[in-house]
Every structure is written in structure tokens, then in C-alpha cells.
Amino acid sequence: MSLPLEGLSAIVTGAGRGLGRAEALELARLGAAVVVNDYGRPGRDGSGEASAGPAEEVAAEIRAAGGKALAHTGDVADFSQARALVGLAITEFGKLDILVNNAGILRDRMVFSMAEEEWDSVIRVHLKGHFNTTRFAAAHWRERSKAAGGPVYGRIVNTSSEAFLAGSAGQPNYAAAKGGIIGLTTSTALALAKYGVTANAICPRARTRMTEDVFAGLDQPEDGLDPLAPEHVAPLVGYLAAPSAARVNGQLLVVHGGMVAIVERPRVAAKFDSKQEAFTYDELDALLTPHYAERPSGETFGAVEVLGLKRA
């Protein structure tokens, strides 16, 4: 029986643990040859010595199951190392077909207490890391398309978060990075569609090293699969990477515990027109103040009320 990703090659960043590991294993199970990327630092804040161990272990697990996998331990937030990562997949497997950007760190702090380095480091790993790999993968697909004289096969799956959708008081750096990833995804989707490439983003909710404190009060079930297991997320990544998702492009999907929600782009909730050439303060006060007075105090812009989701 043929597998949906048979003959395709993939990169998964941050794949040594948690979500990235589950995603790499799923892509391999579906037939893809996988480059498992992980910088290997033990701290979820990106601290500690880099290690080849996590990436090597996942690659070995894939090979032991009969799949094809290589380990890469570079830092995707470094422009030249991201280039080398994409180059490795092309050199070893002949081409790159799928890019799953998952690597990230946390440096949580309230906005009034956050240090410049805490902001910069999170933006660097999440947002710049997503851009770096996307940039070199996109160049590869564009060159292949020009050589072929038509569209080629390319899939990008980026990792955003409900922290962007719903807000996260103690994570201004993380929420901003995850929001930026949506902008990068939609821009990339438009730019690469003519080459046959799709770009989509997911907001996963899962119990991993990154979320251990968020879900600390939710016990794992004694029997059956944990509703917060990363294995609930990985199949969606496999689907978005597959030929059957060719018409899915520039989309944001929330996924966790047997649930997938497609998020609509923001819609206008209310519209006010000036009765004169330009608005005055008094006119805006008369229109907007009553409108917002009817909303619950502290309610913020976001998709929480639409999706019925609580922040993760």
C-alpha cells in the first residue's frame, strides 16, 4: 500500500522532543524521509549546552521503524545554519518537499518587567527561525519551478499559538512572535502559490516541556491517550504536508485533543461613518464609547469568543 508522503522529504525543526518529535515520527510513518533538527539545549528557555542527543535519538527511532532520517543539530535562528539545514535535505534526499517549523523557546515575564534580551531571544528563535528556514526552502522551490517550467511540490507548516489568538499576559514576547508567524505564513502563502507551494499555520495545544506549568493541574488519564498528548496534533501536520491538502493555503487551524478548528480571518465587528468631512473627537466619543460600554470590562480583541476556546 502506498503512503501519502512516500518519495517526499521533510524537515522538522525542534524535533528532538515534544510536538516536533511527534510530528517527525508521523511524517516518517506516512512515508517521508525526514531531517530531524534540534539544537539540543536542555532548558526550555534555550539555556544549557547544545547537544546532538535529542535529534539523533529521534532520527534513530525513525530508522529503527524502517524509515529514512538524518539528524541536524544547528540553530535555525542562525541564517547560515538554516541555509545548511535546507541544503542537507536537498543534498541527502535530492530535494526538499516539506518544511515544518516548530522550534521555539520561552522567556516568560510581564511586559513591565521584561528585559531586552528576553524579548530579543524569543523573537529570534520563533519568528526569525521560521523566516530563515522558509527563506531557503522558498528559494529552492522557486528554482525548481523555473527549471521545470511549472509548479512543483512544496508544503510549509508553521507553528503559532493560542497565546497570539487569545492573549497571554505573561508572554508578550511569545505572543508577539506567534502573531508574527501568522503574518509570515499568509505572506508566504501568497508569494509561493504560483510555484505549487502551500503555507499554513497551526495553533497546537499539547503537554510538552514548553507547557508543563500551564497544564500542571491537569492529570494524565490512567488509561488511553492523554487528551493533551502531542500525538493529537501530529496527524494534522501530516495532512497539511500531503498531496490531499493542495487546496489548503494561507490557513490557521487550532488543534488539540481530537479537535480541529479552522480560524477565519478577522472580520469587521462594527462600522461607523462620520456625518461630516472628517471625524471629530466629540463624534467619536458619541459613537465608540457607548459601543465599548456594552462589552465586558477587560475583553480584548481575539478569537476566543468565536471559537469558545480558553487560552493555552
Could you give the residue numbers annotated as active site?
161, 174, 178
Classify the C-alpha dihedral 39-48-211-117 as positive or negative. negative
From 281, 284, 280, select the one nearest 272 (Cα to Cα): 284
φ/ψ of 123, rounded to 5, equals -60, -40
Q: In what order do the strands lie in the sheet with 69-72?
A: 69-72, 33-37, 9-12, 98-101, 154-159, 197-204, 252-256, 259-263
Strand, helix or coil at 289? helix
Classify the C-alpha dihedral 108-24-166-199 as positive or negative. positive
Strand, helix or coil at 65? coil
How many angstroms separate the CA atoms of 237 and 50, rounded? 27
If one counts every other C-beta atom within 10 angstroms of the C-beta of residue 275, the result is 8
Cell of 227: 487528551
